[in-house]
Chain A
Amino acid sequence: MAADTGLLQGELNENPQGQELEVEKLLIGFLRALLDEQDPKIGAPLPEVAAK
C-alpha cells in the first residue's frame, strides 16, 4: 500500500531554505503560468503529464 512506500507522506524537503532552487526560473515560470491560466480550477486538466 501507498503508506508503506512513503507515497502518503508528502515531499520532505531536503533543503528547507530553498537556496539551491533556481529561484529566478521558478519566478518566471510562476508569472508565465499565471498569465496562461484562463480557468484556474482544481479539476482542470494539466498540460504536463510526462513519464520520467
Chain B
Amino acid sequence: MSQSPSTNTTSVAPNKKIRCLVVQLARLGDTLQSLMALRAAKQLYPQLEIHFVARDKFAAAAKRVPWINEVITLPSEAILGPILRGEKRDTQGLSEVAQWISPMIQEPWDLVVNWSYSEASSFLTGLVPAKIKLGFSRRKDTSFASSDGWSHYIQAIVQGRLEQNIHLTDILTTQLLTALQIHFGEPANTGDAPVTSKSFFSLEIDESKARSSAWAQRDTSRKWIAFQLGTGRADKTWDPENWASLANEIFTEHPEYNVVLLGGKDDESRAQTFLSSLASKNKATNRVISLVGETSFDLWASVVSRCSWVFAGDTAAIHLASVLGTRVINISIGPVRWSETGPYGNGHYVISSNLPCTGCEDKDTVHSCKDTVTAQGVFATWTYAASEWVHRRKISIEEHFAEHGTAEHLDSLSIYRSKIRNTDDGGGVVYESVIKRPLRVQDWSAMVMGHIARAWYCGWVPGVGHELARGQISPALVQNLRQLDETSVVLSKVYDEAISIAKRLHTKSANLKSEKIMRIKDREELREYGKKLIELDRLAERLGNTHKPLRAFSQMSKVLMHNLKSAHLSELGRESAESYKHLHEGVNIFREWVKHTLQLAKPMAVISAPAEIKETSP
C-alpha cells in the first residue's frame, strides 16, 4: 500500500545495519503474511537485519527464507506442556522462559516489531529493549500499550470485528515501511518488485525420500490442483463430501487435471471420507494423490508451487500459495474476515455464502453457509477463473453460470476476485465483486473505514468514492445513508465539543502551580471538564451502538484514550485534544463519503442526442 508520512525524514547511510526483531507468535498463516510484509521492507531497506521469533510449531516457513538472519523459536510444548499437564507449577516454568528470553535482551534492538497482536506477545515486547517498538507492548508499570497508529487500528477495528477492507499484509507492510522511513530515512532502493515468487523459500527436500513419494511419481503430463481439505477450525471447514463432488465435476469435465490432497494428521479421516465418496461416484481415485498427514513444510511448499491451482478454506495454504504465486480458489466458510486474510495477489477468487448463516451469527448452531457454498458453484467459478485468458472477463459470471446450467447456484454465493491496485490508486490488494450486486451497507462501511485509515496513517489517499460506482448504490443503501447523514453530523459536533473541552482542560491545568494542590474552584472546574468529556464519550458510544457504521469511532476513541502517554494532567488534556481531533477528521471523511454516495445516487439528467440533420436539397 502506498504511504507517504508527512513528518520530515532524513536519509540514512545504506550500509548501516538496522537490527530488527520481529515477534510473530501467531499461527503459520500469520507468519506467511508477515514474511510478505518483511520481503517488501527488505527490498527497500536491504540493510535490515531481521531476527524472527516464532513458535517452534510454526517456524518452518521463516527458517526457509534466505534473507532472514536468524529464526528464534519458542519451544512452546517444552515450556508449556508440563505446566498444562499439571506436572509443574507455572512459576517453575519461569526460569525456562527467562533463559529463553535472555539472548534477546543482551543488546538493545534498533527496532522491535510485534506482529502477533496478542496478550502474550505484548509482555515479550515489553521485556525486550529497543529504540523503537511497533505493535502491542507493556508500559513500565506493566499495563498494556499499543504505541503506533496502525496498532490502534488493529486493536480497535480489526480485533473489534468492525467492517474494514484493508488486508492485514498491507497493514503490516505499511506500518513497518512508515516507521522505517520516519526513523531511518528514505529507502536506499526504489522498487515495485513483487513480494511473491516461486523462489521465495530455499527448500530442503530429502531427495531419496522425495523420489519414492507418490508426488514424485505423479503424471507430469497432467495439470495438478491442490485441495487443502481442512482448516484450523471445524466451523471453517468444508465437508469432505463437498470436496469429493467438486473433484467429480473437475474429473468429468477436465481430463487434463488431477488432484493432490494436502493436510495434516488431523485431516486423515477427512481424506478417507473424500476418497470413499469419490469412489461411490464411480470416479477413478487414481487421479488423486493423497499427501495428507505426510506433508512437511518443504514438501508442502514444493507441491503448492508446482500446482496450477490451490483450493482451500481459511488456512495457511492460501497464504503459502499467495507467497509462491499459485492461483487460489478460497472457499470461505464460517466466520471468516476474508478481506483481511484472503489470498494476496492478482487473480485469486474468494467464494462465500451470500445468505445469512445462523451458525455465523450464533456459535451454538449449525453453519448453513457450508451447504450454500455448493460444489457446482465452486466448480463454475473455477472454470470462469481458469478461462479468463480466453474470455478476458468480457463475459459476465452470470452468463458463465447460465451457460453451464448452474445459474441457480449463483444467488446463494458471493464471489470476489483479488486485484493489486496501482500505486496511484493507493496500492494494496482489493477484492472486487464478480457478481453485479448492489453494495450492502457493511460493504460500504468497509470501504469507508479503509479510506479513513489510509487518510489517518498513510498521509495520502485517493479521492473519496474513488472505487464506488453508481450501479452499486441501491435504494436500501441510500435509505441507510440518509439516517447516517444526520447521525454523523451529531457525532462530528460531539468530537468538536470534546476537542474544545480537552483544550480547556489542558490550558487550565497548565496554568496551575501544582496539579495536586489547588483551589477548590479550580478543582471543581477541572472535574467539570472531566465529567463533560465522559458524557461526550458516552454519547459517541450510544450513537455507534445505534448506527453500527459509526461504532468504529467510539471503539477507536477507547483505544486512543487508553494509550495516552503522559502522567500529567495538562499533557493528558493536550493529548486528548489531539485524539479527538483525529476522530473528528475521521468523522468528516465519513460524512464526505455519505454526501458523495447520496449525490452519486441522484438521477442524472440525460442529454438527448441532437437530432440528425438531414441534408435537404435546396
Chain A residues within CB distance 8 Å of chain B: 1-5, 7-13, 15-18, 20-37, 39-52
Contacts and interface: CB of A to CB of B under 8 A. Distances in A.
Interface string B324-353: 000000000000010011000000000000
Task: Give the secondary structure class of B's interface.
Answer: helix
B123 A30 contact: yes
Question: Closest 7 interchain pairs by CB?
Answer: A11-B147, A33-B120, A30-B123, A16-B108, A7-B149, A33-B119, A29-B123
B5 A46 contact: no
B138 interface: yes
Interface of B: 5-7, 25-27, 29-30, 33, 55, 76, 79-80, 83-84, 90-91, 93-94, 97-98, 101, 105, 108, 111, 115-120, 122-124, 126-134, 136-138, 140-142, 144-145, 147-150, 152, 154-156, 158-161, 168, 178-179, 182-183, 232-233, 337, 340-341, 455-457, 459, 537, 555, 558-559, 561-564, 578-579, 582, 585
A27 B152 contact: no
Q: Which of A18, A25, A43 has the most CB of B within 10 A?
A: A43
Contacts of B142: 21-22, 25-26, 29
A5 to B, nearest CB: 5
21 contacts: A3-B457, A4-B7, A7-B582, A8-B148, A9-B7, A9-B179, A11-B132, A12-B131, A15-B140, A16-B130, A17-B129, A18-B105, A21-B142, A25-B142, A30-B120, A35-B84, A39-B233, A40-B116, A46-B119, A46-B155, A49-B558
Given A29-B142, A34-B76, 5 more contacts: A7-B456, A8-B149, A27-B101, A44-B117, A45-B159
A18 B140 CA distance: 9
B558 A1 contact: no
A43 B148 contact: no
Nearest to B96: A31
A50 to B, nearest CB: 6
B101 A4 contact: no
Given A7-B149, A42-B115, A21 B123 contact: no
Contact of A40 (B118, B179, B585): B118
Contacts, number: 197
Contacts of A29: 123, 138, 142
Given A3-B5, A21-B140, A48-B119, A9 B98 contact: no
Contacts of A5: 578-579, 582
A4 to B, nearest CB: 7
Nearest to B168: A42
Contacts of B79: 31, 34
Contacts of A40: 25-27, 55, 116, 118, 120
Contacts of B564: 52
A23 B104 CA distance: 14
A14 to B, nearest CB: 9
B178 A27 contact: no
A40 to B, nearest CB: 5
B79 to A, nearest CB: 8
Contact of B562 (A21, A28, A44, A49): A49
Contacts of A44: 117-118, 159
Nearest to A23: B127
Contacts of B155: 46, 49
A10 B183 CA distance: 9
Given A10-B133, A46-B155, A51-B558, A21 B126 contact: yes
A21 B148 CA distance: 20
Contacts of B562: 49-52
A45 B555 CA distance: 13
A45 B564 CA distance: 21
A4 B577 CA distance: 13
By CB atoms of chain B within 10 A, which of A5, A20, A42 has the most? A42
A43 B457 contact: no
Contacts of A2: 149, 456-457, 582
Nearest to B124: A30
Contacts of B152: 7
Contacts of B148: 7-11
Contacts of A26: 123, 126-127, 138, 142
Contacts of A9: 7, 132, 148, 179, 182-183
A20 B101 CA distance: 17
A38 B156 CA distance: 21
Contacts of B178: 8
Contact of B457 (A8, A20, A46): A8
Contact of B98 (A27, A35, A42): A27
Contacts of A36: 119-120
B309 to A, nearest CB: 25
Contacts of A35: 80, 83-84, 90
Contacts of A31: 79, 90, 93-94, 97
B348 to A, nearest CB: 19
